[in-house]
Structure formats: C-alpha cells, structure tokens
Structure 1
Amino acid sequence: MVPDVTLRSARPDEAELLTELVMRSKAHWGYSDEFMERCRAELTIRAEEMAPSRMTVAESQGRVVAVATLEGEPPEGELGSLFVDPDVIGKGVGRRLLQHMLDMARGIGARTVVLDADPNAEPFYEAMGFVRVGVVPSGSIPGRTLNRYAFDL
C-alpha cells in the first residue's frame, strides 16, 4: 500500500504533468515508441477538458501518482481514463481511485459505469467487478479494438 494517498480534483496547471504520467503508465506495458506516439494525441490531457471530465488525481507524499476521469451523464457514466504511475502499480492506488470514481458516479445518479480497457488492464477491471459487454474501435490505432466493460452501480 502507498502511504497517505489523498484524492482531489485535478488542477488546470497540472495538464502537462498529468499527460507525462499517463504516457509513463501506458508505456509501462511494453508498447513500442511508435505505438506510444500514435496514442499521444488521444492521451494528452488538456486543461479545458478537466472540469467536464470530473478529473481526479491521487496524491502521495506531495506527488501525483494516478489520474482518472468520469465522463457522461446519468444513467450511464464512463470511466474515460484511469492511469497509475508505474512505481505504484499494484499498491492499491488504482483500486482506491476507481472506488472513488464509482462513488462519484453514484453521486451524480449514474446506474452504470462503462469503460474501454487496455488489454493489460482487463484483469484489474475484472477483479473490480466489471463485466465485458462488447468491443469498440481504438481511438488511436486504426484496426485495433478494445474490450468494453460495464459495472452496475
């Protein structure tokens, strides 16, 4: 477990720092430099998108270690992203942040939360109770698909 994790709303001045965290997290799974560059536009965090996406960060010892977004409106929310810094993967940060995002979805009146999962994250989401409900095209890589998952609140 990572000590003293606090959750808070992301700040617009953190957009670049958060983009770097997202890219590190995605690259952790061994994707090639070419693949990562093809994903960069989709994974870039923009300050003006933070509030509408209900962006939340996890902070430990003054350092941002994870970020997630909750998009959509009731009855269906969408976990648009959840990225954890590689040095804290497996230490409970992602679980805590996901639980917070599910609570946030309940708070806005959502009945279901969906997400499009990176194949490497599927075991985590399945362990958290998400169920595969379909397949969607990748937003970055033509011809690539991602599994769509849902969680009933």
Structure 2
Amino acid sequence: MMTAILRQAQQNDADALTRLAKKGKAHWPYPTHWLAAWDEALTLRPEQIAANYFVLERQVDVGSEIIAFTGLETFEGRWYIEHCWVDPAYHGGGHGKRLVQHALMVATSMGLKVVWVESDPNAQAFYEKLGAVLDHWADRPVCGEARQLPVLRFQL
C-alpha cells in the first residue's frame, strides 16, 4: 500500500491542481464540448487555494507528486466541499475518503454544523457512503443541454 502525505495546499500548487482536476473530469465519459465548457471552472487560482485546500502527495524519485486534493469554500453563507479530485490511477485507494474526512474535521474545528457538496453525479454514491445525505437537485445545464447535479449535505 502506498503512503500519501496529507498537507495544506500552497499557492504554487495551483497549476498541478488544475491539471489533476481536468484529468479527473476527463476520466468520465463526458462529451468533449462539455469538458471545454468546464475549463474555467476546473482552473484553480493561487488565491483560491490559499486557505482551506488540502493535498495528498506521494514521494517519487525526484520529489513528490500530488495525487488528490480537495478544499472548503464558502458561497452565500454556506460552506462546501469543492474540487474533490483523485487521480484516476489512484481511485479506490481510500484517498478521497481521507481527504473528505480531513475537510470535515477542519469544518468541525471551525464550528460549522453543515457542509454541502454539489456533486458530480458520478461521485454521489461516494459522498453518500461517507455519510452525506441528498438534499436536492440543482439545474446546471451545460452547452444548452439539461443537466442536474445532486446537492448533498454532511451534518456535523
């Protein structure tokens, strides 16, 4: 079993996190024009990851490689788990679970009672397995095509 080191994300990780987010999204069989439409949303900015983003990295011969990351962000008074991505080569290794549990621990230490996730439909079962409950569906059309996303909540 590979050991991955959990650490706070740094602003200079933005490019690596962006590459990983785009690789993770492209793993699913989405149309190419949808992936292009999501390009900006999958681009992480240094100032965005400065506070509550966390990475898992593994040691390689010449340094380290980020294999997964997630973050906590606030929108309109609610805190969300954002950008929970695991390199597809490492799916099933418990890395996503470790990151989400860490983010929820941080949220608890911040005094939060609820954390939300607007999930990709492919990840809904993952979050539910970790204790999230489906709250509602959000309309999120892509390129003029209908799409709904499950919005789940973790009660802390």
TM-score w.r.t. the length of structure 1 is 0.90
- How big is the shift at 1:63? 1.1
- Distance in 2, matches of 1:41 and 1:145, equals 19
> 2:29 aligns to what SS in structure 1?
coil
Give the counterpart letter for 1:97 in structure 2. L
1:62-141 matches, within 5 Å, as: 62-72=64-74, 76-138=78-140
The reply to whether residue 58 of structure 1 matches residue 61 of structure 2 is no
Structure 1 residues not aligned, in runs of 5+: none
Q: Which moved more, 1:104-113 or 1:139-148?
A: 139-148
* Moved >6 Å (runs of 4+): none
Q: Residues 87, 141 of structure 1: CA spacing in aligned structure 2 closer, same or farther, 3 A cutoff?
A: same
Higher relative contact order (CA 8 A, sep 6+): 1
> 1:41 aligns to what SS in structure 2?
coil
Instruction: Please identify the structure whose Cα radius of gyration is greater.
Output: 2
- How big is the shift at 1:33? 1.7
Q: Residues 140, 20 of structure 1: CA spacing in aligned structure 2 closer, same or farther, 3 A cutoff?
A: farther
Structure 2 residues not aligned, in runs of 5+: none
* Higher-helix-fraction structure: 1
- Percent of aligned pairs with the same amino acid: 34
- Distance in 2, matches of 1:87 and 1:16, equals 19
- How big is the shift at 1:145? 2.0
Give the counterpart letter for 2:4 in structure 1. V
